[in-house]
Chain A
Amino acid sequence: MKGLLKTAISLWLSTLAACSDVALNNPYVQNEDQGKVIYSSFSERPKHLDPAKAYSSNEYGIIAQVYESLFQYQYLKKPYQLEPLLASSMPTVNYFDAHGVQLSGQPSASDIAYSEYVLTIKDNIQFQPHPSFNVGLHKRLPDAWDGESLYTLPQSSRVLTVDDFIYQIKRLADPQTQSPIVGLMSNYIVGFKEFSQTQAALIDNKPQLDKVRRLQSVPMLGVTKINSTQFSIRIKGKYPQFINWLAMPFFSPMPWEADAFYSHPVLLSKNITLDWFPVGTGPYFLAENNPNRRMALSKNPNFHVEYYPREATDQLAKKGLLKDAGKRLPLTDKVIFSLEKESIPYWNKFLQGYYDASGISSDSFDQAVSFSPSGEVGLTHSMLERGIGLQTAVTTSSFYLGFNMLDKVVGGDSKKTKKLRHAISIAVDYEEYISIFQNGRGVAAQGIIPPEIFGHIEGEQGVNPLVYRWQNGPQRRSIDEAKKHLVDAGYANGIDPATGESLVLYFDTMDSGPDSKARLNWLRKQLDKLNIELVVRATDYNRFQQKMRSGNAQLYMWGWNADYPDPENFMFLLYGKNSKALHGGENASNYKNPRFDALFERMSSMENTPERQKIINKMVDIAREDAPWLWGFHPKAFSLYHAWYTNANPNLMANNSTKYINIDPQLRRAYQSKWNKPVYWPLVIIALALLLLLLPAYRIYRRIENAKAL
């Protein structure tokens, strides 16, 4: 121990002394930055890296680079468009009636009992090298294996087959997998639910059957292998959004060998499971996985031929995003994700050049962003000096304030309660909210559909007339107009006739910490404009969720991130049959309007046509009139990039965008060296100060030693 310490200190001191140009504060291991490396981070360890279970953005940040789906979103195209990835072409969709007869032409949704997606995969796609493909290792691991890394075991690979896709769909239905979309897919894929029930019975009755044999022993009715490169998925009715699900990691191919390999008890005892060590066909493989410290992706040597796109929107082409057009992907060799729990060290390390990209926290917003007199967003001088770039994009998310439509005071479809909701909609000034709490990073919502999703209308046509009037842009209606609505609602001047005092409304929230105090006070003040008293009922996460599930909240705040870029993925949040309290769905306001529901059922099975747009417009109008939500805002993502980090494009649907990113390592090294020159003189001053202190100390010491003891 003593020797080790001595060596470590001498190493560090010799580095200090000898290498004055070497960055001593480099947080990475020496010689790690060989080749093109992306440096990123994670603040909490991902819960799952199994594509059947993972469903959050931090998980997708890793697994979408390792697993590939049949389709992907075109990186440089807007609006969002799908293109084949592991599929060789877009699917052929056949429609059938209830008798199983194939329908020709363009049948109406009501005639369609089943849709069949015929999917063809590319030839000769290889999985990454992985020990699971050495079937001999499934039963016995080498005695000499140290258990440190999977990649010290003998590796092999094989060609992707349609069986791997079918196996993954079966895994989704397997009760042991516990996929979050099992309930949803049970409603669509033919035979999915029955397969799940059969597997549950097999688990109980034949526990000796291993997982692979159990899943392979029973077919799933709606999923059929046609030949070695084709298979079909049959779904109930017409559901055009199904193809978007096929572009998500849930439907990535999974080799059965992976499941068999990871069931080895030695691996399980070392936390080496399929949930943590993926096996995919993607541009990278997970070479290092320590979710307690860092994870590293390395270039997959077996990655199939894929090139950087040659086409882009004019805007993106002008930004230089076609510089690498036609180059083989991925453009980098390695991606390192380091654990970084706190935003302050992350930000400082970004400024030192040790992270390539960064979001902007509220703490560092003023340091990074400035607004011109005309209100245009730009970077501060210090950021520009460092060659940092800024990209902004309105996210496909909505954060709203909802009314519980089952509540007697604010809910229901009577004219009085509608007027009350209209009054509150005007009074709660979301532009102010965005300015105060979001540093201006957001767009006040005019309806349920965010920008860049089909159905969203920009400009005057898209304004919510009940809350805004158009005067060179949307202008929030005056508080006097809100008060008029309040009179119509029976609460003149905010007075509740039943009590003779201010109307009292209740806001249920799980935000109770000091950070949320300002936000809650702001909300109180908004309703105070109408002389309505807002009582905040703060509770913990569990109780809040329970209140929402039982329909006992009155006002609440909630948000939704798009699963896929289709209006159905937002409109279904207001569909009556999705009521959270009544049906356990995602309609947290428990809104129900038969006209809206009927239109939703038509719209949800339509392609993006002008006719669909008309229906969406009607639905938006109905929802605005009923006002089950204050439409809230769509957050704007601000991202900073260093000069050596290129091709970044905020495509919010493309989870697999890492393969397009390029790095200039020489430029990075030059900047890092410039920004991180060690400064030694303060150490010398401290040492001198301590030496100076010794002088009086010595004098007093002499005096004490020379003094008489008694």
Chain B
Amino acid sequence: MINYILRRLLYVLPVLLGVNILTFVLFFVVNSPDDMARMQLGDKHVSQAAVNNWKQQRGYDLPLIWNQQETGIQAIKKTIFFEKSVGLFVFDLGLSDNGRDIVADISQRMWPSLAIAIPSLIFGVLANITFALLLIFYRGSYLEFGGLFVCITLMSISGLFYIIAGQFLVGKLLALTPISGYAPGMEAFKFIILPVVIGIISGLGSGARWYRTLFLEEAAKDYVRTAKAKGLSELQVLFKHVLKNAMVPILTGIVVILPLLFMGSLITESFFGIPGLGSYTIDAISSQDFAIVRSMVFLGSFLYIIGLLLTDISYTLVDPRVRLN
């Protein structure tokens, strides 16, 4: 297993390099260093000398990927691509083009994102699984029909509607929680409760239906019939046996997104004024801040790969038949 993990970790390097090259190419196809400078310096009274000075200060005055004025390895090293990429592989994210320390920004903004994402995930999964198991339990009855109707209805409504309606109903009409905002520490509770509840409700329809499909597949297997024949109650069968055996696909869905939780949610954070990482990349793309864009894409890719690896490892924990070779 250790060999497998090491091998998978080694795969990370070429994947990250590829992602980095792709990000670089896509970014500079759309934005030139001159465009970046003008975006940072503003619209008024910006001279070419100021643009050149900005580029020189931040190392964007070099050629993009090949320096014809240099020879040998320097032709690659003295380029924007090399100088901006090499630090990433030792997680030295450096400064944003706006002059802020990216690591400091991320470490500050990841906590509010996590404060929303972790309870949303935990309670969301619990709610989805419970609801799905209940649908299985009541299958064939009008309660299942009603439950499925609720699921379809919940799935049919736009995520944005939940947010606006939730803010209007709970924050404005009932005046039970703040409409938006955030505070650190214990004060955070009153701000995160509404986005978490909305997150759970908006994901309930699709989540419950997905888990229901998994559980139905399991419920049709022989061991379930055996368990019932042995006299186990329906609830015992579902919550003890079916749930445990359906864990592999559930874990696939959950573990892979665990590391990405701290990347936040753009719309939720935007509407609730949560100072998380959700809008960090989007804001950076709008302001043409390549330093942040490359860092966040790099970090996102790395975490995704780690998530996949964790998923593989978790298989061995829930299914003894799986061996990592």
Residues of A within 8 A of B (CB): 4, 7-9, 11-12, 16, 23-30, 44, 47, 55-56, 175-176, 178, 180-184, 268-271, 273, 275-276, 290, 292-293, 338-342, 344-345, 348-349, 351-352, 540-542, 545-546, 563, 584, 586, 676-680, 682-683, 696-697, 700-701, 704-705, 709-710
B233 with A345: CB separation less than 8 A: no
Residue from A23, A27, A290 in contact with B275 in the complex, judged by beta carbons closer than 8 Å: A290
Besides A25-B175, A27-B191, A340-B273, 12 more A-B contacts (Cβ < 8 Å) are A23-B175, A29-B183, A176-B57, A183-B45, A290-B108, A338-B181, A339-B273, A352-B172, A542-B288, A679-B176, A697-B143, A709-B229
A586 touches B45 (CB 8 A): yes
Contacts of A292 in B (CB 8 A): 105, 108-109, 275
Check if B171 sits within 8 Å of A348, measured CB to CB: yes
- Kindly identify which residue among B45, B143, B174 contacts A678, using a CB–CB cutoff of 8 Å: B174
Chain A binding surface SS class: loop
Q: Give the chain B neighbours of A344 by CB distance below 8 A.
A: 164, 167, 271
How many residues on B have C-beta within 8 angstroms of the other chain's C-beta atoms? Answer: 69
Q: Which residues of B contact A11 (CB under 8 A)?
A: 186, 189
Name B278-318 residues within 8 Å CB distance of A: 279, 283, 287-288
- 13 interchain pairs (CB within 8 A)? A8-B189, A12-B189, A24-B176, A28-B181, A29-B183, A56-B42, A176-B57, A178-B53, A182-B50, A344-B167, A349-B180, A352-B175, A541-B35
Residue of B whose beta carbon sits closest to that of A193: B49
Contacting residues, chain A, for B48 (C-beta < 8 A): 584
> Roughly how many angstroms separate A546 CA and B38 CA in the complex, as a whole number?
11
Minimum CB–CB distance for A24 against chain B, Å? 5
- Does B50 lie within 8 Å of A700, measured CB to CB? no
Q: Are B279 and A341 in contact (CB under 8 A)?
A: yes
Give B contacts to A, CB under 8 Å.
30-32, 35, 38-42, 44-50, 53-54, 57, 98-101, 104-105, 108-109, 112, 137-138, 141, 143, 164, 167-168, 171-183, 186-187, 189-191, 193, 225, 228-229, 231, 233-234, 270-273, 275, 279, 283, 287-288
- Chain A residues, CB < 8 A from B288: 542
Chain B contacts for A268, CB-based, 8 A: 101
Write out the residue numbers on chain B whose beta carbons fall within 8 Å of the beta carbon of A293. Answer: 112, 182, 275
Interface SS of B by simple majority: helix
Q: How many Å from the CB of A348 to the closest CB on chain B?
A: 5
Q: Of B31, B104, B271, B279, which is within 8 A of A271 by CB?
A: B104
The interface residues of chain A lying within 8 Å CB-to-CB of B176 are: 16, 24-25, 678-680, 683
A670 smallest CB distance to B (angstroms): 16
Max chain B C-beta neighbours (<10 A), residue from A47, A268, A541, A709: A709
A184 contacts B101, CB within 8 Å? no
Q: Judge whether B173 and A348 touch: CB under 8 Å.
A: no
CA distance A9 to B101 in the complex (A): 36
Task: Report the minimal beta-carbon distance from B50 to chain A, rounded to whole angstroms.
Answer: 6
What's the Cα separation between A682 and B174 when bound, in Å? Answer: 8
For A180, give its contact among B35, B41, B168, B172 (CB under 8 Å): B41
Pick the contact of B270 from A7, A56, A275, A342 — CB < 8 Å?
A: A342
Given contact pairs A9-B189, A542-B30, A705-B233, A180 touches B50 in the complex (Cβ within 8 A): yes
Q: Knowing A349-B180, A696-B143 are in contact, say whether A678-B271 is a contact too (CB < 8 A).
A: no
Nearest Cβ on chain B to A322's Cβ, whole angstroms: 36
Which of A12, A351, A683, A701 lies in contact with B193, CB distance below 8 A? A12
B187 near A700 with CB under 8 A, answer: no
Give every chain B residue within 8 A of A680 (Cβ-Cβ): 174, 176
Query: Roughly how many angstroms separate A349 CA and B272 CA in the complex, as a whole number?
Result: 12
User: How far is the CB of B54 from the nearest CB of chain A, in Å?
Assistant: 6
C-alpha gap A16/B49 in the complex (Å):
61
Complex Cα spacing A44 to B41, Å = 16
When chains A and B are docked, how far (Å) is the Cα of A290 from the Cα of B283?
16
Please state if A25 and B228 are interface contacts (CB–CB under 8 Å). Answer: no
Contact A676 B270 (CB under 8 A): no
* Nearest Cβ on chain A to B224's Cβ, whole angstroms: 10
Q: What's the Cα separation between A107 and B53 when bound, in Å? A: 39
Which residue of the partner chain B has the closest CB to A338? B181
Q: Tell me the smallest distance from the CB of A98 to a CB of chain B, in Å.
A: 26
- CB neighbours of B270 from chain A (8 A): 341-342
Inter-chain contact B101/A269, CB cutoff 8 Å: yes
The answer to whether B180 touches A345 (Cβ under 8 A) is: yes
- Asked if B271 contacts A345 (CB within 8 A), the reply is yes
- A270 contacts B101, C-beta separation under 8 Å: yes
Choice from A9, A352, A704 contacting B234 with Cβ under 8 Å: A704
Which of B50, B168, B187, B273 is the one whose CB lies under 8 Å from A338? B273
Inter-chain CA distance A683–B175, complex, in Å, is 12
Q: Write out the residue numbers on chain A whose beta carbons fall within 8 Å of the beta carbon of B50.
A: 178, 180, 182-183
